[in-house]
Structure 1
Amino acid sequence: MQLPTPEELKDKRTELGLTQNDLAKRAGVSQPLIARIESGDVDPRLSTLRKIISVFEDVEREDIHVVNIMHTNVISAAPEDHIDIAVQIMEKHNISQIPVLSNGVPVGSISEEMIVRSMADKKKAAVSHMLIRELMGDSFPTVSPNTDINMVSHMLERNPAVLVLEKGQVVGVVTKYDVLKLLSE
């Protein structure tokens, strides 16, 4: 691993639109220290360099909005569909849960886990003919397309997906996998 040069640090700071003062505040160091590091007058401690790089990474993530990573082809089921339809959809797309939408509006969610749990109490034929609305759980949380990816990341810690709404209608979905893919870019 090669450490960035003073010029590279300055270039990165300006590329991200940060002033020396902004960077200093966010990194918890003084502005004169940032100026001295960028001019090559002082070699920063590794811990200081880590703070600066961490700020750069945070600022880069702030520029990512849900609209940049969401899937617009939202795979879903309707509350009036039978459970076997939800199972077929999940098998076809190799997913374990789907939102339940009524005229483009989220009303719940259905997952393999919910279906399997219900099968413990009922016969297979009875479960497959149940309506999704009889078994569905809460809807996935919703955000607007311009929501920052950091907020969505926190929501995904407790939910398998986040729906993206515009004018009350679902226009996209973001999953944990979508956020993980950002690491490889």
Structure 2
Amino acid sequence: MLPTQAEIKSRRIKIGLTQTELAEKAGVSQSLIAKIETGQIDAAYTYLKKIFDTLEELENQTQPKASDVMNPNVNFVSKKDSVASAIVLMRKHNFSQLPVLDKGHAVGSVSEKSILDRISSGLDAHELSKLECGEIMEEAFPVVSETTPLPAISELLKHHFAVLVRKGGKIGGIISKADLLKTIH
């Protein structure tokens, strides 16, 4: 279902286009854009589809992407690393979670929560520190491409501690909720 005709003007202005520029990019006339925006006509579906497809494409080009906000320094642990080493790394960098990678691929995650859950379930802290990360790891963080728009990343961060960014076939960055909040001015 297409958005309403009334949205065209606000979306056009938001991305900084004139009626003429939008018309050229969408392959329609400027007068058609003007008539739609003033409510003088109910445009045909084919014209509206062209206009909205163009607006969406242009909005995606101007939106920040994963590569714009990711931290390229990905600290991680392997499945064989001890929980103690994960804790040291998290403390050193003030992280609350770490990805678990195996040969450059995300296989799990370790977080303060996963560690504290083990302690609260009765596992001795000293014994826990000796375990391998693979023994306590949780689900892997989602992996997105460098070109994934921020709204999609924001949706993922509602359900995950972090999002990994694939660059050149391997993990090349990480985005946490804190990284995303830095984009708000």
Same fold (TM over 0.5): yes
The residue aligned with 1:179 is 180
Query: Partner amino acid for 1:101?
Result: L
The residue aligned with 1:132 is 133
- 5 Å matches for 1:136-155? 136-155=137-156
The residue aligned with 1:108 is 108
The residue aligned with 2:30 is none
Query: Partner amino acid for 1:96?
Result: S
Q: 1:32 aligns with which of 35, 56, 61?
A: 35
Cα displacement (A) at 1:168: 3.9
**Residues 1:167 and 1:178: Cα distance change in structure 2 (over 3 Å):** same
**Residues 1:134 and 1:149: Cα distance change in structure 2 (over 3 Å):** same
Distance, in Å, in 1 between the alignment partners of 2:154 and 2:182 is 12
Distance, in Å, in 1 between the alignment partners of 2:68 and 2:14 is 25
Query: Partner amino acid for 2:155?
Result: H
Distance, in Å, in 2 between the alignment partners of 1:139 and 1:132 is 12
**Residues 1:12 and 1:84: Cα distance change in structure 2 (over 3 Å):** closer
Q: Are 2:71 and 2:175, in contact at CA under 8 Å, matched by a contact in 1?
A: yes
Moved more, 163-172 or 122-131: 163-172
Task: Specify every segment of 5 or more residues in structure 1 that has no aligned partner in the other structure, as ranges.
Answer: 1-8, 23-29, 37-54
Cα displacement (A) at 1:167: 4.6
Q: Deviations over 1:56-80 (max 9, x none)?
A: xx93885211111111100111110
Cα displacement (A) at 1:175: 1.3
**Residues 1:69 and 1:11: Cα distance change in structure 2 (over 3 Å):** closer
The residue aligned with 2:69 is 69
What is the TM-score of this pair, normalised by structure 1?
0.69
Cα displacement (A) at 1:14: 2.1
Distance, in Å, in 2 between the alignment partners of 1:11 and 1:116 is 45
Cα displacement (A) at 1:105: 1.1
Distance, in Å, in 2 between the alignment partners of 1:153 and 1:110 is 21
What is the TM-score of this pair, normalised by structure 2?
0.69
Q: Are 2:167 and 2:173, in contact at CA under 8 Å, matched by a contact in 1?
A: no
Cα displacement (A) at 1:125: 1.4
Q: In percent, how many aligned pairs have the same letter?
A: 28
